[in-house]
Each structure stands twice: as structure tokens, then as C-alpha cells.
Structure 1
Amino acid sequence: MTVRVVALSLVSGAAFACLFPTDRSGEVTVQMDPLPALFLKDTVQLSGRVVDENGADVPNAEIQFASQDSSVVLVTSDGRLLAVGVGNTNVTATAISFDGSQPAVLPVVVHGLLEVDSIRPKAVRFGDTVAIYGVGLEPDSLFSVTLGGAELPIFQFTPQDPDAPDRFGTLTLWAKPPADRFSTVSVLGFRGGVVHPDTVLVFQFDVFEPNDTVPADLGDLPLGYANPGLAFEQIRRDVVVAADWYTFTNTTAQDRTIIVGGEDVGAEIFQVFLTNGLSWDGVAFDYTLRAGSWTIGPELYICDGLTMTRFGAPFQPSQLPFPISVLALGDLPAGTYHILAPFVAAPKPNAYGLLIANGYLSFRARDVAEENDYCDVAKPLATGTSAAQLSIDNPQDVDWFEFSVPAGGQTVAFSAVSPDTLVDIDLYIIRDFRPLSLTVVDLSVDFGTPETLSAFLPQGSYFLLVVDFAGIPGIYTLSATFTAPPAGVAPVRAAPSPAQVELRRLKEQLVRERRDARLRRFLPRATRR
């Protein structure tokens, strides 16, 4: 930065002799104009004036400037200053030809290009914000900011002068795991690096604890909610389950997207479930679902408070784990919703982020059938023959459809075909016996695409559940055909080919190997009865 001010004109010694026929230099004082904040490599033009005992300017007086520490600032005799080092010093201004005059002394502070002056607060929880005050903290110039080795996400940056963001400013960040209990802040950027000596006390739990058996109520979220600094903590002795539980409220129907995940946690650490009715049973020490509620989550799809069954035993569709949970819901009705994230505790807290956004965010474009991610909003399938291009818009997405079979029964044939060979869609036909039960009567769980399912069904109400097994978003075409069997002819279902039998066996083996005891902890006991 270069600042120029007008210097005073110079006169000869003869002129001074005329002005002051006798030596009155002891009554003369030199004054220096203040300087703006100085930073390394800045240049400025010093200025000042000579005044008499009455404060009046002495005309044509000459001033000579000097630096008391040339390692901090260099100053030419005519007042050209160059900041060459970080530190404190004084600049002096002397009136020439007035040996008895009082010189001016101006303290000078030269700031570095990257400095941390202070940090507030001195004690934080995970998910709190930390404010760093200093120089050169604009995010575009930084490589990283860490607290106890944990790289901190940026919340906001506020420059003191919007026209000079590389100077003084406040950088606000999220505190997050795995910062140690006593941590220091380190900043690394294009202009160098700095470690601030002050210690920050980091409590080893996040801002919502305890929220395992009592939910943290986020309330109405007209602007959404985001916090990337939350923690899956170590389990306290008085905790019987490891889970984080949140609630939020829609005052009106609106699109919502819920994202839970982190760089260092995956599906082996946590799962996420969304429901419209959840409570904690202090007697059974377990979560319970409200009657009539629905649940969305990997391998846990509850409809009207009922768990699916197959051959009389509880049943859930199989899905491979995915390291991040993304759930986009269109026109989510007014009401209170519960987010439950059971997790496996580790020796040190694991960081994760929670985003509840307004709007529909997805890997794939929203298809014509959305919203149909839970049974309450299942879309009807037309009788006869129909086809529609749909999408698995996010990993572990499911699509619910409903249909009815008239008296006499019908043969139904479904086909789900994707142009992406990595997509693996499974089909489940569910008999709707509500309020008594939901029974899986047939399924197709072949590897890859296409997926076909044909069955003769008696009169009744049914769901078709389309499940993303592989966690890979993609488009698919769903075809459905309903035909009545010819009179007097019993319908016969074609037997699967040997190749289909082997592929299904391999897929079932993959699912069994994955369902170890650790992952089973993610399902509330009430759903396994």
C-alpha cells in the first residue's frame, strides 16, 4: 500500500535567520501526522509540521525524518518509509536549524502478512464456532486452519475493510473432532504459517449432547440448518445406546433434503433413519415407533407402524452400506420429523455434518413419481400395460407404488431396466393386510439390470417396492403389465434359470456376510420382533 501526503516546502537557512533574529528554537515543536496501519512491504510518505508556542505553523520549516530500528522500517531523510520487518519501533521528525526544538516521536507497528492476534472463545464444544482475529485471514489465501490437528470448516469471514480483505479481519470456523481437549490453532496459507500460543479448551462432546434418548429439537427451520462440526462421541457410562437424535418441524408442506456424513466416517460407523413418529421407552431401554408411523432408512422401511414379514418372520429389503446419507423429500407435509443416527462409538470422537436444506437436492433429476419414498405417498400403478422412466435419485433410494388386484386374480409382470450397468435395482411385491400386517409375497433380487418379476396374485391390495441395492443413483424404466388368466387355466410361473439361481445365491451370500453383529446394532429391537 502507498499513501502520499503533501510535504512542507523547504527554505534556506537565510530565511530562518530573518524570521528568528534571536534563537527561539526551544519554543518550537515538531508534530507528525498519524499513519494508517502498516503491513510488511508497505510504503508511505511521512508528513508533519513545525509549530511555535502558540500552535501556529512556522512557515518554510524543514523537517528531517529517521527510523530508530532499520530492521523494522527504513526511512529516508525526506520521509519515505518502507516496512521491511514485522515489529515495533519509532520514527522521529526533527526541525532542521532548530537545535533546541522538541522532535516528534511516532510509534510504528508493522504487521505481518499473516497474523493471529486472538482467538475467542477459549472453551468450545464440537459444533461451536471459533472466531480468529488477525491479518491475512481471507479464506482464498489459506491452505488450512486446524485446531489440535483437526482441519476446521469455514463458517464466515468478515474483513474490517471490505476493500482490503487481506488486512484485518475475523475468520469464524466450526470446531470439530478430532481436536484434543487442549488444542492450539494453526493457520497455513500463501503468506506463510502461524501457530497461536494460546490454548483452547475443547470439550469432547458436541453442542447437542445429550441427545441419545431425548432428541435435540431444531424447531422450525425456515432457512434450513447446517453444522459440519458434530460428533459421534465416546459412550458415557450412563448411556445405554449410541445414537444422535434430532427433530425438526415443517409448519407447511415443503421440499426438504437431509444429508448426514463426514470425511472420516462411513456406513460401518453410522446409519441414518427418518420417521414421523419416534419415542424412547425408558422401561425397555429402546426406541419405539408411534402407531401409524413410517420410517425411511437403509434396510428399515416401516409402513403404518408395521414391519414387513416374509414366511411369518420379520423381513427388510437388503441394501449395501453407503458412506453418506442423502434423503430428498418433495412436499414433505407439515409436522414434526425425527432423524435418528445410531453409531458405533470409537476411542476418539468421529466428526460428521448435518444439513437440513430447503429444496430437493439429488444426484439425479427428480422424476415424475416423486415424492414416493415412503408408503404414505405411494404412487398408483395403472392397470393394463404401462411404462415410465424414473430414477434412483440418491444412494439407497426407494420408490413405493401401489396397485389392486380384482376378484379372480391377475398375473402381474414388472420389469426395471437401467442403461447403467452399475445400477442394481431389486423388486418386492408386498401384500397390504393393514392394519394387521404387510407381507412380502414375492421378490426379484438378481444382480445388476434388468430386474424382472412375474407372479399370479389373488384379489387384494399390494405395494411394489423398488429398492436401490448398490447405492448407485441412475435412471431406470419401470414397466408393469396386469393380465387376467384365461378361464379354466391355472397360471404357472416360469422357473428361474440356473444362472439366475447362482446369481441370487451369490447376492444373498454377500448380504449375509455383511450383516454382522455390529451392523445389527443399528436396528431398534422393536423392529426385530
Structure 2
Amino acid sequence: MRHGRGLAATALLIGWVLVATCVYPTEHDSSVHVSLRALKILLRGADSTAKATAWQIVAPGDSQKIPNVTFVWSSSDPTVATVDQTGHVVGVNSGKAIIRAAARNFDAAALPGVDTLRVSAPLEVDSVRPKIVKYGEKLTIYGVGVDSIFLASLAGVNLIHVPFSDSVFKVGTARARFWVPPPATTDSLFFLGFSGGQGVFNFVHGDTTKVIERDIYEPNDTIPSAIDLDGPRPFPVTNTALDSLLFFNPALAFETLKRGQTTGADWYNFTQAETRSLTIILTAPQIAGTFSTFLTDSLGWNGAAKTYFIGKNSWTFGPGSHSCHGARFSPSEGAADSTIVAFKNLPLGALDGIAVYATAGRYGLGVIAGYQSELPADAHEDDNSCNAADLRDTIPAPFRDTLTIENPHDVDWIRFHYTSGALGTSAQFRLHALPGTNPDSLKDLDLYVMNVPAPGDTAVKLVLADTAAGSDVNRTISLATGDYYLVVVDFAGTTTTYELCVGTVDLLGAGFCNTSFPSPPAASSRGAPLRVKPRISGRPAAPLLRSRR
């Protein structure tokens, strides 16, 4: 019995040694290493449990997990993070600490597992880049929880958040981006966010952002900034309206004028390699009435004369400047706080846009792929210029149609052919704004008729100009047989549909345009007294766009 018990004990001892050899390969401790699952970032006051695993290298590139291993845990800085012998970690203060796990019962040759743990506040800014920015440039904020920042400012000027630009990285940090608009100046960034169930605000101490007080496209007064509309778009695919933006920057600057200067200019040259509809928007509501925006298919700068000029056959679109085949046409228009111009099927090539200003301030500029308008486009679009009207059929008079002022301060051009009638007849032109969203008292349409410019003409030759207040026209004139342009100008900047008629009328008043044409609204329905339209004077840009002959 005793001998049997001895054999059994011997067998048990041998088995234990074999198992221990498998679990604790002390003769090969250098082949043992420990890995830790990274905790990334731990918020102050929060806790987590670290997980360690022991491995034995059995061949190059091949390791096997060692079961039943206990670990000795330690923290390099208990004032930042503590860890107990079960791997329970607690964040104490912001900073970094190395959490270490060593396999128990192995000698020093066995490699412990280490994890550099960051302890952070719920919202903690690490850096703001770049250190030097211009207006219209993006400022990127890096740190923990910065994607929760909803307000950031420099010297009391709020920055503009860039949509769909926030990112959270795998390591637990994040980034947020903001445009820097004028009049921001050099300062430490102030931010306000919401994290951990509470509002968080602070300054980024010791990290000043220097602001150069001009935008990223300067200088672009006499040489245009090139904008490739076929280049990368300003936003990733978002399945929102932002996907239609070809160019967008809401934080550009009309810079402070130098001493002795009365006006400044920002000039852009847009190019596209395909025919498509485009909408160009420039807005600066804080300085409304102090700038004018012009578009043209050809713009240059004469350094000797210090003036801008357009091509011999060019068109322009802008307040007081609607040149036709290079000939100047300067209708009166009211002041606007923004520019919205939509083109249908704009040909490939270049389009120049220039904003001439008298007051420094912030503006936004955007180019949209597609025709965007306040009211749906009528069948005559695109008719923003006489050159565009030439691409459509010349309409024989008499004709009658309903058209639309799709955006504020829109202009409609129609090329028509008039055949002089019998003796005693005259050409008749009628216009009437139809009821719509905007009250009649806000509508103010002007009607012009002009000859088709001949080569060498520096200005258009008007044969009719009805600029009386209101949106009802009934005029007769003697008109020779030939081609003409009819132009309807939205003086007031109020969108509306309107009916237009061109025909002949005899001495008794019988004619094509006098049959069931809408009657003008009663004077009491206008809601405001008729006014005399002032001639726009002192606009900074009208004399700058000259035709080169």
C-alpha cells in the first residue's frame, strides 16, 4: 500500500512538472512576451479594465497564447492614472502614464506589456493649426472631444464651422475645422463645446493664432484668381445640397482700402471644360449697398489707363452694366445686398467675375452646378445677355408670352424681328407683372428696346426706354422693319412673373396686344405711392468696365 501510494505521488509530481513546464517555460523566458489591449484615452474620473495576454514565440512569426497566467500591474505615474492588480485603471488627472503588465513567475527576460495611456478632460485642445492664417483659410483644431465644439472665435469674431469636416481618429482624438473670416485678428482661440453632459469653454493658452488681414486670394484686383470648376469640390459626398457646390468660401474679405483709394476690387476667373448650368452667388449683407458684382465672358486690365475693359463682342451682367456685343448699356438699378445669377447651359470656357467695393468687410462666394432660382426658370432661359439671346431663335412680331424674373435684379433679353405695318400703325409694347408671392408694391420692372449694335458701336442705341415706377408698360413708337433687342430689367430686386406683348396698333387702338391683356392693378392695391426712379450715380464699378475697340 505504501509503495503504491509512493508511485501515485511520483506520477502526480511528474504530471505537475510537465504542466508547469507548459505554462511557465522558465527555461525559455526570453521567448515570452505580454501584450496589452490599448485603452487609448481615459477621461478624468472614469475607469476601465486593461486586458493582458501572455505569448510564447515558438517559431519566427508564430506565437502561442500561454493560459493561466497572472500578471503584476503598475503605473508609471499614479497621479495621472492608477491600476490595481486586477487591471482596473482609473484616470486621475490629465496627462500620460505608462500602464505595465508583467507575467508573474517569469524572470526578467520575459517582456512585459506596456500601454501609454492618456488621461484627458472631456474636451481638451491639443493644438490649433496652422499657426498663421489668412481670411478664407481653414483653421484645424486637434484634441479630445473637439468635434463637440460648436463655437470658436478669435479676438471676439466667430469662426465659421466647416460642414462635414469633423473627424474622430482611431486613437480617440478628433479634429474640427473652421473658416477664419474678417475682421478676426491675432489671438488665442476661444472655444465653446458640449461634452460629458455639460458645456465646456476655454481659451487655448500658449498657442496664439496669427491672422494676416487679407484673404487667401489676394492680390486679385488687377490679375484674377483662377478657379477651376472641374477641380476637387469643397466638400466630400454628403447626399445633401452641398454636393452641388463646385466652389464655396464664406469667409473672404474686401480688404481695407489704402489711403487715397475710394474703391477696391476682387477678380475671379472661373473655367469649366464642359457646358452646364451654373449659379453664382456673392453675398455680403453686413455691407449691403457698398459693392457691385459683375460677370462677363471677357475681362482685362489696362495698366496704363488703370481701368478694366471687356472684349469687342462681349457681354456683361451687373448693376448699371449690361453690355451687348461690347456696346455699353447702363440701365438704372436699385442697390442689392447680394448677387445671384443663374445660367442655363453656360458654354465651356472662362467666365470672369469681379466685385468692386467701397467698404471693407466680409463676403461669401459660391458656385453651384445647376440652375438655382427663387422662381422656376421660364422657357426663354438662358437670356441673361444679348449674346445668349442670339443663340435662341429670333422671334417674329407680333408675339406674346409669359416670362419670369427668376432671381432678384434679373435681366431678360429677347431678340425679335419687327415688320413695319401699314400707314398709320405703330409698334406697341406692353408689360404687366402678374400676381405672385411678392406684393405688387415691391415690383418695379423697366422695359428697353434697342437696335442690334453694329461693329464699332461703343454704346447701344435705345429706341424706347420706359423707366417709370411700377411694372406696367403700354408704349407705342414708330419702328422701322428690322431686328431689335427687348430688355426687361428688374429695378427693385423683386422676383415675379410677367406678361409681355409686342405687336402693332392702328390709330383707333386696335391691335394684337390690346386683346384681353391684363389691366394694371388699381392704384390703391399698390400699398405705396408711385415713386420717381432715381438714376443710380456714384456706383464704383460702372465706369470701370469699358469696351475695347
Please state which band the TM-score falls in when normalised by the shorter chain: 0.7 to 0.9
CA distance in 2, matches of 1:235, 1:82: 58
Correspondence for 2:453: 434
CA distance in 2, matches of 1:364, 1:34: 59
- Displacement of 1:273 after TM fit? 0.2
Q: Check the 8 A contact 2:263/2:358 in 1, yes or no.
A: no
Please, which of 114, 128, 149 is the counterpart of residue 119 of structure 1? Answer: 128
Q: Check the 8 A contact 1:157/1:169 in 2, yes or no.
A: no
Greater mean deviation of Cα atoms: 149-158 or 372-381: 149-158
Give the partner amino acid of 2:451: D
- Displacement of 1:249 after TM fit? 2.3
- Displacement of 1:329 after TM fit? 0.7
CA distance in 1, matches of 2:228, 2:97: 55
- Displacement of 1:177 after TM fit? 1.4
SS in 1 for 2:207: coil
Q: Check the 8 A contact 2:100/2:115 in 1, yes or no.
A: yes
CA distance in 2, matches of 1:331, 1:480: 26
Please, which of 383, 386, 391 is the counterpart of residue 372 of structure 1? Answer: 383
Please, which of 326, 336, 340 is the counterpart of residue 322 of structure 1? Answer: 336
Q: Deviations over 1:474-518 (max 9, x none)?
A: 3x13231412526999xxx9xx99979x99995325x35xx464x
SS in 2 for 1:190: strand
Is the alpha carbon distance of 1:105 and 1:480 closer, same or farther for their aligned partners in structure 2, counting shifts above 3 Å?
closer
Correspondence for 1:404: 417
Task: Determine if the alignment matches structure 1 residue 461 to structure 2 residue 461.
Answer: no
Correspondence for 2:430: 414
Q: Check the 8 A contact 2:320/2:331 in 1, yes or no.
A: yes
CA distance in 1, matches of 2:362, 2:527: 38
Task: Determine if the alignment matches structure 1 residue 294 to structure 2 residue 305.
Answer: no
CA distance in 2, matches of 1:377, 1:157: 39
TM-score (norm 2): 0.73
Task: Determine if the alignment matches structure 1 residue 244 to structure 2 residue 244.
Answer: no
Correspondence for 2:240: none
RMSD: 4.3
Please, which of 340, 359, 370 is the counterpart of residue 359 of structure 1? Answer: 370
- Displacement of 1:471 after TM fit? 1.6
Please, which of 201, 207, 211 is the counterpart of residue 216 of structure 2? Answer: 207
Correspondence for 2:50: 46
Q: Check the 8 A contact 1:125/1:203 in 2, yes or no.
A: yes
Give 5+ residue unaligned stretches, structure 1: 1-14, 309-315
SS in 2 for 1:470: coil
Give the partner amino acid of 1:327: V
Task: Determine if the alignment matches structure 1 residue 344 to structure 2 residue 358.
Answer: yes
- Displacement of 1:158 after TM fit? 5.5
Q: Check the 8 A contact 1:428/1:440 in 2, yes or no.
A: no
Q: Check the 8 A contact 1:153/1:228 in 2, yes or no.
A: no
Equivalence map 1:169-188=2 (5 Å): 169-180=174-185, 182-188=186-192
Equivalence map 1:16-415=2 (5 Å): 33=36, 35-40=38-43, 42-48=46-52, 63=71, 65=73, 72-73=80-81, 75=83, 77-83=85-91, 85-89=93-97, 91=99, 108-138=117-147, 141-148=148-155, 149-154=157-162, 157=165, 159-161=167-169, 167-180=172-185, 182-191=186-195, 192-196=200-204, 197-219=206-228, 221=230, 224-236=246-258, 241-262=263-284, 264-266=286-288, 268-308=289-329, 316-346=330-360, 350-378=361-389, 380-388=394-402, 390-408=403-421, 410-415=426-431
Is the alpha carbon distance of 1:457 and 1:104 closer, same or farther for their aligned partners in structure 2, counting shifts above 3 Å?
same
- Displacement of 1:248 after TM fit? 1.9
CA distance in 2, matches of 1:130, 1:172: 6
Q: Deviations over 1:413-471 (max 9, x none)?
A: 3122221325514132322052245233334445455x222213321433221122222
Query: How many corresponding residue pairs?
Result: 476
SS in 2 for 1:264: helix
CA distance in 1, matches of 2:282, 2:509: 55
Greater mean deviation of Cα atoms: 426-435 or 79-88: 79-88
Q: Deviations over 1:291-329 (max 9, x none)?
A: 221110122211111124xxxxxxx33322221111111
CA distance in 1, matches of 2:85, 2:187: 48
SS in 1 for 2:327: coil
SS in 1 for 2:286: coil
- Displacement of 1:56 after TM fit? 12
CA distance in 1, matches of 2:522, 2:114: 96
Greater mean deviation of Cα atoms: 401-410 or 320-329: 401-410
SS in 1 for 2:450: strand
Q: Check the 8 A contact 2:126/2:142 in 1, yes or no.
A: yes
Give 5+ residue unaligned stretches, structure 2: 1-15, 57-62, 234-245, 515-519
CA distance in 2, matches of 1:432, 1:264: 40
Q: Deviations over 1:352-371 (max 9, x none)?
A: 22222222122222221100
Greater mean deviation of Cα atoms: 440-449 or 358-367: 440-449
Q: Check the 8 A contact 1:114/1:194 in 2, yes or no.
A: no
Q: Check the 8 A contact 1:150/1:177 in 2, yes or no.
A: no
